[in-house]
Structure formats: C-alpha cells, structure tokens
Amino acid sequence: MTNQDNNQQQTQNPVPPPYPYYVPPQNDEINLIDLWKTLIEKKKIIIVITIITTLIALIYALLATPIYRAEALLAPVSKERGGRLSALAGQFGGLASLAGINIGAKGGDLEEALATLKSREFTNKFIEDENLMPVLFEKAWDKENKQWINAERPPTLWKAYNKFNLIRVINQGKKSGLITLSINWKDPVLAAEWVGKLVERLNKKLREEAIMGSDKSIKYLEVELQKTSVIEVKESIYSLIEAQTKTRMLANTREEYAFRVIDRAVVPEQKIKPKRALIVVLGFLFGGIAGVFLALFSRIDFSQRN
C-alpha cells in the first residue's frame, strides 16, 4: 500500500482524539425554576439578613452626628482701568515693576484673593486666633482640665489645616463669577460665624497689604522723582504716584476690599447629612441582595465538584 493510499484511509477514518470532548452535566445548567425554589426555601435567611442590615443602617442614621452648612455669596470687587495709566504702564513698565505697581487693578486680583483664602498661612492664623484646635479635635481635648488628653502627642496645626480644609468649601460660578464660601460643621452657629469671620479677615488682610504696597511704591517713586530732571518723566511719575494714592485711599475707605458680600451667612436650620431615609433604604437593599447571594451560594454542592 502506497503512502497516498494510507493518507486517503486516514482521511476517511479519522483517529479519535486522545481525550474525549467535555460535555457539561445537566446538573450544572442554570435553571430559573430551581433558583426560584431555592430562594423560596431560603426566604427566612434572606428576611433575617435584610432585617439585620436595615436595623444597622437605621441605628447608624440615628446616631450619626448631623452636619449643617452655612454659606455666603460673594462678588469680586470690580476692577477699574484707566486708559492713560495703562499707557504709562507700557511706557514705564520697568519703573512701575520696580515700584511694585499693578496699573489699573483695584480691589485685588481674584485668583490671588482665592489663593490667599485657601492658603495654609491664612488658615492657620485663623485657627490660632479663633482658638479652634479644641473645637476641631473635641475628642482629644479635656474640657474640665482644659488640656489635651494625650499631652505628649497633641494635634498639630498641620492636621488642623487639613481638617478645616475638608469642612471649608469654595465654589466659583463659571458664568456669573460669583463665589460661594461654605462651612460644613455640626454646630450651625459656629459654621455661620466662621464664614463671616473668614470673609472679614480676608478683606482686611488684602486691604492692609494694598495700603502697605501703595506706601512702599509712593516712597520709591518720590525718590526716583528727585533723581530726574526730565519733565516728561516727572509727569509720568506724578501720574504713577497719583494712581497709588488713589489705591491707598480706596483701601482705607472700602472695608469690602476684595469681596463684596451679596448674601451673608445665616445660622442653618436644616442639616445636609446624614440623610436618614436614604441610608435606611440603602441598608434594606444591601441586605436583600446579600441575602439572595447567600441563599444561592448555599445551593452549590461542593462535594460533587471535588
């Protein structure tokens, strides 16, 4: 018999594979009716687990500390710009830069004001001046003896800043440009008080910095004025001095220097969390799902699989 005849015979009578094809047994197929019967048989387990998780959620919702939100709506103080002074800034930009002058900006820059409000230095100073450490870390503070429970490792300003940064929320409207400053805290009175003091302190700080900057710029320009005899340069310096004098005057007379309060923070009466109804509903759903999975899991026969 030739090789060609052998190949034809193998093609007509193929050799069976060394291992048989796996055919899943009928018992492993998913049967919805069997699943439903299992759930009916294990309904007590499902009901018990659902009740337990619902009760746990209810207890948590009732015992959780309520949090209130106090917020204020702020508007950035508008910027005034003068054509003549802007032209001077371009003509004598080096001189204005050395004098620390920002031509045409009144009331402070918005981004700088927001950065100051969020800054660690500003926040830490607020925490220290208002003595907020015992308030923020109430559980670590001994009220009777007025000292830290663990005197060797008391809370630090670093932790206080991080915690205060979590309860302070700053949002800026994309279209309106208005700023919303919020404090989320368990004491609604303190929350409203902190919002008001933060805005007041921020305006005061930026106003004082503007006055100091204007005084420094004016002194520098007066010295430069004595050094030159060119009439045109003198006139320009006089204009720069006039602009800084106006900035100083506005800072002295305008308490709301960086932000104008449109809607002041009031003591909130309605808490923002915990949302008790939602917590109980989620606990009920979680318990039902967990009970169903446990009932189906108990249906699996591991002895046959092994």
Q: Which amino acid is at 285?
A: L
pTM of the entire structure?
A: 0.71
**DSSP result, 71-124:** EEEEEEPPP---HHHHHHHHHSHHHHHHTT--TT--S--HHHHHHHHH-HHHHH
**DSSP result, 148-173:** ESSTTS---HHHHHHHHHHHEEEEE-
Sign of the torsion angle spanned by Cα atoms 182, 114, 214, 237? negative
Domains of the chain with bracketed CATH: 33-64+275-301 (no CATH), 67-272 (3.30.1890)
Q: What is the pLDDT of residues 99-122, one digit of tens each?
A: 555 544 444 478 889 999 999 999
70 forms beta bridges with 183
d(Cα 49, Cα 241) in Å, to the nearest integer? 78
Q: What is the pLDDT of residues 130-166, one digit of tens each?
A: 999 999 999 999 999 999 999 899 999 999 999 999 9
Six-digit token pair at 129?
A: 């001046």
Q: What is the pLDDT of residues 247-256, one digit of tens each?
A: 888 888 888 8
Please provide residue 185's backbone torsions phi and psi, each rounded to the nearest 5 degrees. -150, 160
Q: What is the pLDDT of residues 239-296, one digit of tens each?
A: 888 888 888 888 888 888 889 999 999 999 999 988 888 989 999 999 889 888 887 7
Residue in this structure with the two tokens 């008001």, named with its chain if needed:
196
298 or 8, which is more confident = 298
Q: Which amino acid is at 217?
A: S
Torsion region of 190: left, alpha or beta (phi above 0 gives left; psi -120 to 50 gives alpha): alpha
What's the pLDDT score for residue 10?
A: 52
What's the pLDDT score for residue 160?
A: 96
In percent, the amount of the chain with pLDDT more than 90 equals: 42
